């Protein structure tokens, strides 16, 4: 066997083990009996150790030195393997283990602190997590920017300065749009009897409608919806809330976006580095364009309105226009994950600026809550009422996920670019969405983006699909047009 | 760390990975989307390779040479680790890999052959499987008996000659009992509307009634019921058939017996060699005593009769006596897994004698079908009508599982011994079963057997619980008394 073939065979087994580890996480959130927690922690640790040993196997370095790529895809495989190997080898094993131990503890401390609204109880742990991730970033950056080194794990090639420039351009326009909307009368909300069985039935219909392949996936309930797995086994979860069927439906469509990306990748890349989504930002572009630009469009909500009436009878709003307004209602709220298209990115930018300052050493953990509250008041116009609605709201920092938040907004920006290109290339998109046919849209995304998996870098992936470099302009234009019309601005 | 502690830490991680591999199998039978088969095969292969590498890690030999057990349990741990390590190291890696490849292919060939009733299509593959397992047995036996070396994998210390003597003592009495019963009038069977929801509800009630701990387990549907996992996460499956609710109920009780054993093991042994059932035979003793001696007793079926009437209304038999007779009906039939308590062991002995002769080289694969059919006619009094009801009936041989079949009957024999000791020690067992209270019985089993896991060898495990060496006499006495009374012999 050639060095390339040996490396790829080794990698293939590592990818298969990675899929097993991922499915263990799926099982934990959907199927695991409650009393199994302690044993599961050991199981997770064991498979994580196996994966770490494989990812730091010195033979990878030897193979990489000798491997010759058979073609362009092979060259991309080698590039991704090299990238991952170099990153892994830069972080001392002891540090990696301490980060795993500390974030596992910090996660529990955070959950307790959030339940008791006790910021002080969490801060010492957060301080440790920040210190460890800074240490890791220093090992990775080798003199470069610390935060960039962390972003790179989620968004290869991402840059804090570039994101900051993009977000700074977006923020004033979003703050202004939000304020203008909230000066206008609120649309009427839904009311009715949204039984769980009906929600789940319609949720499955929506998943199928958006092209989710149930022969290579399944839908279960979970507290926090997610998508899991690559290749031939890509599962999603959803949730139901008795009074808020949109939560279920748009969670499902969002996760179908993630899953369709994984399911849409060229099968020739199965169980290889090219066989998964290329970055968190590009992943989020798929979930967001499915959920928002397509799923919350006037065209598609017209079809959904009929489905909901058929399933639930009277839903408290009359006609597709009122329904469209209800789907896209903009309301005050503290919680990122419940935010609408207009306000969502403001929540992200707040977190991005604060975590970037924490990693840079420009903000101390002790000052974090005040900084959060000041910024929230500035952008949203009212005060945070309690820590669980503010600085203790998200799980990410307890898990050490610094550099992750901006990929959510980057995904929205990318979705804006893709939607612009899609409507340019496929003029009949909305006409078909109005009939519940997402085919022209999802087919275009599969053809121009999803099938390529990790073949190109994230930005190049978007640029290839759109025919131009990504920018925040299309998203802002889309939001201002859509909500300007909706709210008569 | 001492050599003992290092070895146990290594072993603990191996056990955790083994649990993951087992749960992957559970997922495949219960949750996996159909289209995921190919990817799943690679995942299975990857985790199997990891486990094999760990189980043949030369450090185990070093640790074993230097380890000092801290106590009796520690000595038992070392004994089990040594046993497993020696066995694994005796089989050349290339042979182990070829067996895995061949049985995987043979399994598919067998399934096709069974579907098309084509024995000839399966025999060449079976011939290869037998040859490979004989080769493995020779490596393991090192001059000793080949079949014993294979049994040892499922029933440590088991001996073909000893089992043959036991079975030869049982066979004529079972053949005679069966013949006498089938001369008598048949009891009336059930009739009614046994909807799936009702079956599953009652199945869950039965599981709880027999002490299945749902906080450390769960029940799902599968084509073939099984129990899976050890320690804090022990899952079972069941199935439903519209016209045969007993299939569902007694499958569930059977699997609960297996699961209760795993759940009942001392938590101090979690993720260690002592933390799983000690052998297939002892495992089957638990599933069988739950299912048969307890679950099919006059006392318990009286309670079940009331539950069934409450769930399904009219079930076509009047009164607990008629119900008890229906539960324990003895009928002609070709299929082992559908056999009653009286005939089940005859099915096993047939397979045992044939596979022992195959491994000894006294029977050729080409003569297997004729041998099967002759023996079946001799014991059951009528001819096999087609291969899927005869020699192609079971999956085991295609998977190379020679030496496995006798553990089923050994389990029945052990269950007979345990039931004798239980009713001696706990006279109120039946009085309480009649109220749907299995506590005295399952408590005795947990106290006297389940909690010890792998602490003692299989036979010593039974002897410790019963206070005397195991023998077939209690089972035969129990069957002759129970069915003699039922059929008025």
Instruction: Return the percent helix, strand and coil in chain B, to nearest 5.
Output: 70, 0, 25
* Nearest Cα residue in chain A from B53: A50
Q: Provide mean pLDDT across the span A159-174.
A: 98
Q: How far from chain centre, in Å, is Cα A157?
A: 17
Q: Tell me which of B17, B49, B267 to substitute to probe the interface with A (most A C-beta atoms closer than 10 Å).
A: B17
Share of chain B above pLDDT 70, in %: 100
Q: At A228, which helix (H) or strand (E)?
A: strand A227-228
Q: Choose among B38, B233, B271: nearest Cβ to A36.
A: B233
Nearest residue of chain A to residue B39 (CA atoms): A232
Point out which residues pair with B238 in neighbouring strands. Answer: B221
A293: DSSP letter: I
Average pLDDT over all residues of chain A: 97
What local confidence, expressed as pLDDT, does residue A41 receive? 92
Model pLDDT for residues B39-65, shown as the tens digit of each residue: 999 999 999 999 999 999 999 999 999
pLDDT of residue B417: 98
- Determine contact, residues B77/B114, Cβ cutoff 8 Å: no
The single residue listed with the structure tokens 């920092």 is A397
The alpha carbon torsion through B171, B172, B175, B177 (nearest 10 deg) reads -110
| Per-residue pLDDT, A305 | 98
Please give the C-alpha separations between residue A23 and each of A229, A375, B23, B28, B375, in angstroms, as whole numbers: 7, 38, 10, 12, 47
Considering all CA atoms of chain A, what is the largest pairwise distance in Å, rounded to the nearest integer?
69
CA dist B334 and B337 (Å) reads: 9
Strand partners, B221: B238
| Residue among B33, B49, B216 whose CB faces A217 most closely | B33
3 state SS of B227 = strand
Burial of A224 (0-12, 13-18, 19+ CB in 10 A): exposed
Residues in chain B whose Cβ is within 8 Å of chain A = 12-14, 16-17, 19-20, 23-24, 27, 31-40, 42-43, 45-47, 49-50, 213-218, 231-233, 235, 270-271
pLDDT in tens, A235-244: 999 999 999 9
pLDDT per residue over B398-418, tens digit each? Answer: 999 999 999 999 999 999 999
Catalytic residue among B15, B255, B355, B472: B255
Task: Give the strand order in the sheet containing B219-221.
Answer: B219-221, B235-238, B227-228
Of A27, A40, A271, the CB nearest to B39: A271
pLDDT band at A288 (very low <50, low <70, confident <90, very high): very high
Interface test with B, best of A9, A33, A40 (most B CBs within 10 A): A33
CA–CA–CA angle A291, A293, A299 (5° rounding): 100
**pLDDT band, very low/low/confident/very high, at B95 (cuts 50, 70, 90):** very high
What lies within 8 Å, CB to CB, of A231 at 6+ separation is A19, A216, A262, A265, A267, A270, A271, A275, B39
pLDDT at A326: 98
What is the Cα–Cα distance from A395 to B342, expressed in whole angstroms? Answer: 59
Give the residue among B347, B159, B368, B328 at the shortest CA–CA distance from B246.
B328
Q: What is the average pLDDT value for chain B, to the nearest integer?
A: 97
pLDDT at A24: 97
Predicted confidence band of residue B446 (pLDDT cuts 50, 70, 90): very high
State yes or no: is B255 an active-site residue: yes
What CA–CA distances, in Å, run from B451 to B57, B274, B441, B464?
30, 10, 14, 12
Instruction: Give the chain B residue nearest A24 (alpha carbons).
Output: B20
Residue A29 CA: distances (Å) to CA of A226, A284, A447, B23: 9, 21, 32, 15
Report the chain A residue with the minimal C-alpha distance to residue B46. A13
Q: Closest Cα partner for A263 from B36, B22, B296, B77? A: B36
Q: How much is the pLDDT for A477? A: 98
Over range A410-416, report the average pLDDT.
98
Mean per-residue pLDDT for B349-370? 98
Q: Do B16 and A46 touch (CB under 8 A)?
A: yes
- What per-residue confidence (pLDDT) applies to B398? 96
CA B164, CA B170: separation in Å to the nearest integer?
Answer: 10
Cβ B198 vs Cβ B309: under 8 Å: no
The nearest alpha carbon in chain A to B31 belongs to: A218
* Torsions phi, psi for B267 (to 5 deg): -65, -20
B219 pLDDT band, cuts 50/70/90, is very high
Distance from CA of B41 to the nearest CA of A (A): 10
**pLDDT at residue number A58:** 97
First to last CA, chain B: 66
- Which pLDDT tens digit goes with each residue over B69-78? 999 999 999 9
Please compute the mean of the pLDDT values over residues A212-220 and round it to a whole number: 98
- Inspect the interface and report whether the beta carbons of A217 and B34 lie closer than 8 Å: no
Q: What is the pLDDT of residue A307?
A: 98
Beta bridge partners of A237: A220
Q: How far, in whole angstroms, is CA B466 from its chain's centroid? A: 20
**Cα(B128)–Cα(B106) distance, rounded to whole angstroms?**
9
**Over the stretch B248-277, which tens digit does the pLDDT of each residue have?**
999 999 999 999 999 999 999 999 999 999
Contact call for residues A136 and A94 (beta carbons, < 8 A): no
CA distance B18 to B9: 14
Q: How many CB atoms lie within 10 A of CB B383?
A: 11
In tens, the pLDDT along A355-382 reads: 999 999 999 999 999 999 999 999 999 9
CB contact under 8 A, A23 and B24: yes
Q: How far apart are CA A476 and CA A283, in angstroms?
A: 20
d(Cα A407, Cα A418) in Å, to the nearest integer? 16
Q: Write the CB contacts of B123 (distance below 8 Å, at least 6 apart in sequence).
A: B365, B366, B368
Query: Nearest-CA distance from A113 to chain B in Å?
Result: 26
- Inter-residue contact A130 to A358 (CB < 8 Å): yes
ipTM for the predicted complex: 0.94
Give me the pLDDT at residue B103, please.
94
Return the pLDDT at A469.
97
Catalytic residue, candidates A255, A262, A369, A472? A255
* pLDDT-based confidence at residue B468 (cuts at 50, 70, 90): very high
How far apart, in whole angstroms, are the C-alpha atoms of residue A274 and residue A266? 9
Beta bridge partners of A143: none
Q: Averaged over A170-183, what is the pLDDT?
A: 98
Cβ neighbours of residue B314 closer than 8 Å, sequence gap 6 or more:
B192
Closest Cα partner for A396 from A408, A381, A385? Answer: A408
CA neighbours closer than 13 Å in the CB half-sphere of residue A402: 28
Contact in structure between B263 and B216 (CB atoms under 8 Å): yes
Q: What is the pLDDT of residue B171?
A: 98
Quick one: pLDDT band at residue A449, thresholds 50, 70, 90?
Answer: very high
Inter-chain CB proximity A13 and B39 less than 8 Å: no
Confidence of residue B172 (pLDDT cuts 50, 70, 90): very high
Cβ contact, residue pair A50, B50, below 8 Å: yes
């Amino acid at each position: 066997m050639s060095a390339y073939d040996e490396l790829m065979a080794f990698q293939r087994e590592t990818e298969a083990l990675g899929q097993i580890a991922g499915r263990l996480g799926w099982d934990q959130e959907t199927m695991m009996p409650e009393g199994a927690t302690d044993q599961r922690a050991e199981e997770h640790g064991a498979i994580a150790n196996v994966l770490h040993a494989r990812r730091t196997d010195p033979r990878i370095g030897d193979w990489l030195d000798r491997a010759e790529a058979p073609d362009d895809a092979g060259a991309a495989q080698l590039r991704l393997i090299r990238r991952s190997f170099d990153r892994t080898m830069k972080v001392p094993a002891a540090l990696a283990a301490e980060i795993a131990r500390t974030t596992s503890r910090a996660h529990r401390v955070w959950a307790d602190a959030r339940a008791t609204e006790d910021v002080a109880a969490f801060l010492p742990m957060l301080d440790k997590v920040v210190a460890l991730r800074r240490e890791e970033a220093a090992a990775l950056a080798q003199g470069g920017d610390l935060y960039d080194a962390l972003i790179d794990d989620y968004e290869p090639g991402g840059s804090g300065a570039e994101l900051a420039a993009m977000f700074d351009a977006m923020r004033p326009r979003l703050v202004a749009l939000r304020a203008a909307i909230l000066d206008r009368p609120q649309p009427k909300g839904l009311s009715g009897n949204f039984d769980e069985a009906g929600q789940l039935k319609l949720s499955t219909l929506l998943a199928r409608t958006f092209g989710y392949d149930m022969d290579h996936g399944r839908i279960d309930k979970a507290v926090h919806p997610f998508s899991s797995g690559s290749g031939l086994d890509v599962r999603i979860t959803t949730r139901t809330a008795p009074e808020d069927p949109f939560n279920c439906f748009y969670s499902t469509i969002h996760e179908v976006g993630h899953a369709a990306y994984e399911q849409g990748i060229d099968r020739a890349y199965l169980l290889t580095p090219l066989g998964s989504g290329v970055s968190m930002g590009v992943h989020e572009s798929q979930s967001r364009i499915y959920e928002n630009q397509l799923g919350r469009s006037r065209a598609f909500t017209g079809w959904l309105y009929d489905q909901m009436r058929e399933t639930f009878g009277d839903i408290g709003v009359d006609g597709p226009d009122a329904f469209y307004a209800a789907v896209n209602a903009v309301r005050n709220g503290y919680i990122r994950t419940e935010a609408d298209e207009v306000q969502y990115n403001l929540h992200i930018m707040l977190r991005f600026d604060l975590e970037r300052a924490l990693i840079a050493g420009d903000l101390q953990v002790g000052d974090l809550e005040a900084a959060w509250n000041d910024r929230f008041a500035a952008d949203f116009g009212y005060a945070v009422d309690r820590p669980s609605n503010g600085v203790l709201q998200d799980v990410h920092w307890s898990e050490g996920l610094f550099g992750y938040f901006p990929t959510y907004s980057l995904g929205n920006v990318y979705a804006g670019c893709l939607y612009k290109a899609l409507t340019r290339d496929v003029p009949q998109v909305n006409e078909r969405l109005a009939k519940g046919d997402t085919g022209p849209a999802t087919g275009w995304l599969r053809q121009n983006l999803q099938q390529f998996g990790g073949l190109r870098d994230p930005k190049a992936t978007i640029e290839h699909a759109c025919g131009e470099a990504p920018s925040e302009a299309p998203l802002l234009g889309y939001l201002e047009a859509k909500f300007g019309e909706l709210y008569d601005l």
